[in-house]
């Protein structure tokens, strides 16, 4: 991989990516903080009864999403209302959650930690538990030169690990860096993609990270209207954050409620399911693809799978947790 401008000594932005938006000045990345954040991410100590970790819903082998359920499962097997999104390239995102309720990566972790159906704890309880843990006392001291563990430092460490989850080594990236070439099918799919999808799923991140409707109808049983919950603005009804299309082979099922389990179903929706009753720019226009075109599009989407990211051992369960 080629890297450009060093935004932070320990965070390198891939050459063909735009500048990250994360505020590195207020949380300079260090290897020891990344490792500390990694331990916290995999440690169920963050949940009330030590049963659920972040990784319970965000598994490395699923590009940090979860594939068993369409809706996430948390503490005491309670079922949430949304599909857990894949986690990567978070340094380039300005809003978090399907409706953008969270405005900064650092404060995102407060949501699952406090959510009664997720980890059912609180940041205060987490800090109290960590203060009694010799392993963490040592690690926090090493990382922050401060013997008191604070909420701020817990959250910043979790951010650091998540910032290190950069996916930029798929076949698509290699093509962009002139190391490989698309096959004819992939190239045809790429052209279809650029004509129909790129305005929302903007390359090279494959999302503008703005809010839009791709025309899927409301699930009446969930009554989830997305962005409007945050802004109270009518125009935001039924808008959801545009997800990246990297690593789709690992992160099914798809959409905020996990309603589609295959890319065929997704393309069938885009091809036949959109009714042009909305005129706004934020809404997908109806489009139509032949069966061959769908196959071409899927071939292209497959070039966005980044196996060196998904199987990167540096992102997996840290062995130190076993011996702590």
User: What b/e readout covers 131-164, taking b as 16+ CB neighbours within 10 angstroms?
Assistant: eeeebbeebbeebbeeeebeeebbbbbbbbbbbb
DSSP 151-204: HHHHHHHHHHHHHT-----SHHHHHHTTSS---HHHHHHHHHHHHHTTTTS-TT
Residue from 26, 183, 261, 288 binding another protein (CB under 8 A) = 26
Distance CA 165, CA 161 (A): 7
User: CB under 8 A: which stretch of 112-120, 164-172, 209-217, 305-313 binds another protein?
Assistant: 112-120
Sign of torsion, CA 208 209 211 214? Answer: positive
Identify which of residues 200 and 205 has a Cβ nearer to ligand HEC in the complex: 200
User: How far is it, in rounded angstroms, from Cα 37 to Cα 29?
Assistant: 11
Helix axes 184-196, 291-302, angle to 10 degrees: 100
- Restricted to residues 78-117, the positions that interact with ligand HEC (CB under 6 A) are 80, 82, 84-85, 87, 90, 96-98, 108-109, 112-113
CB neighbours (10 Å) of residue 111?
Answer: 14
**Chain-centroid distance, C-alpha 25:** 22
Instruction: Decide whether 149 or 245 has the Cβ nearer to ligand HEC.
Output: 245
Q: At what angle do helices 151-163 and 123-131 cross, to 10 degrees?
A: 90
The DSSP symbol for 96 reads: B
Contact set for another protein, span 209-248 (CB under 8 A): 230, 232
Nearer to another protein, 124 or 307 (CB): 124
Q: Which is nearer to another protein, 128 or 272 (CB)?
A: 128
Nearer to ligand HEC, 42 or 144 (CB): 42
Tokens of 218: 């409301």
For ligand HEC, the binding residues in 247-286 under the rule CB under 6 A are: 248, 251, 254-256, 266, 270, 283-284
- Among positions 12, 104, 174, 259, the unique one binding another protein when judged by CB under 8 A: 104
By CB under 8 A, residue 310 contacts another protein? no
Scanning residues 133 to 162, which ones bind another protein (CB under 8 A)? 150-153, 155-156, 159
Partner from ligand HEC, another protein, none binding residue 110, C-beta < 5-8 Å depending on class: another protein
Helix axes 151-163, 134-144, angle to 10 degrees: 80
Does residue 321 belong to the site contacting another protein (CB under 8 A)?
A: no
Instruction: Tell me: does residue 127 bind another protein (CB under 8 A).
Output: yes
Taking CB under 8 A as the criterion, the residue among 113, 192, 205, 304 binding another protein is 113
When binding is defined by CB under 6 A, the residue of 130, 168, 242, 310 that contacts ligand HEC is 242
Helix, strand, coil percentages for the chain (3-state, nearest 5): 40, 10, 50
| Residues of this chain that bind ligand HEC (CB under 6 A) | 41, 46, 52, 54, 56-58, 72, 74, 80, 82, 84-85, 87, 90, 96-98, 108-109, 112-113, 118-119, 158, 162, 196-197, 199-201, 212, 214, 216, 240, 242-243, 245, 248, 251, 254-256, 266, 270, 283-284, 297
| Residues of this chain that bind another protein (CB under 8 A) | 23, 26-27, 101-107, 110-111, 113-115, 123-124, 127, 150-153, 155-156, 159, 230, 232
């Amino acid at each position: 991989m080629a890297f450009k401008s060093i935004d932070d000594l320990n965070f390198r932005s891939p050459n063909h990516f735009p500048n990250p938006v994360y505020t590195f000045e207020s949380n300079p990345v260090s290897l020891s903080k990344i490792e500390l954040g990694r331990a916290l991410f995999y440690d169920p100590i963050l949940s009330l009864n030590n049963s659920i970790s972040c990784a319970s819903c965000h598994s490395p082998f699923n590009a940090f999403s979860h594939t068993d359920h369409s809706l996430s499962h948390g503490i005491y097997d309670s079922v949430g209302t949304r599909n857990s999104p894949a986690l990567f390239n978070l340094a380039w995102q300005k809003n978090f959650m399907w409706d953008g309720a969270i405005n900064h990566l650092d404060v995102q972790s407060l949501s699952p930690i406090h959510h009664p159906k997720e980890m059912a704890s609180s940041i205060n309880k987490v800090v109290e538990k960590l203060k009694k843990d010799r392993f963490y006392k040592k690690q926090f001291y090493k990382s922050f030169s401060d013997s008191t563990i604070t909420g701020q430092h817990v959250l910043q460490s979790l951010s650091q690990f998540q910032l290190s989850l950069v996916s930029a080594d798929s076949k698509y990236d290699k093509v962009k860096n002139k190391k490989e070439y698309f096959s004819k099918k992939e190239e045809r799919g790429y052209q279809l993609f650029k004509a129909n999808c790129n305005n929302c799923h903007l390359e090279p991140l494959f999302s503008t990270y703005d809010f839009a409707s791709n025309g899927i109808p409301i699930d009446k049983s969930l009554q989830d209207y997305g962005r409007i919950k945050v802004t109270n603005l009518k125009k935001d009804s039924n808008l959801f954050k545009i997800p990246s299309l990297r690593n789709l082979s690992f992160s099914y099922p798809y959409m905020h409620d996990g309603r589609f389990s295959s890319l065929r179903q997704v393309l069938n929706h885009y091809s036949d399911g959109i009714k042009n009753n909305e005129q706004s720019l934020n809404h997908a226009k109806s489009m139509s693809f032949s069966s061959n075109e769908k196959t071409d599009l899927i071939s292209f989407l497959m070039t966005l799978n980044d196996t060196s990211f998904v199987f990167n051992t540096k992102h997996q369960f840290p062995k130190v947790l076993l011996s702590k």
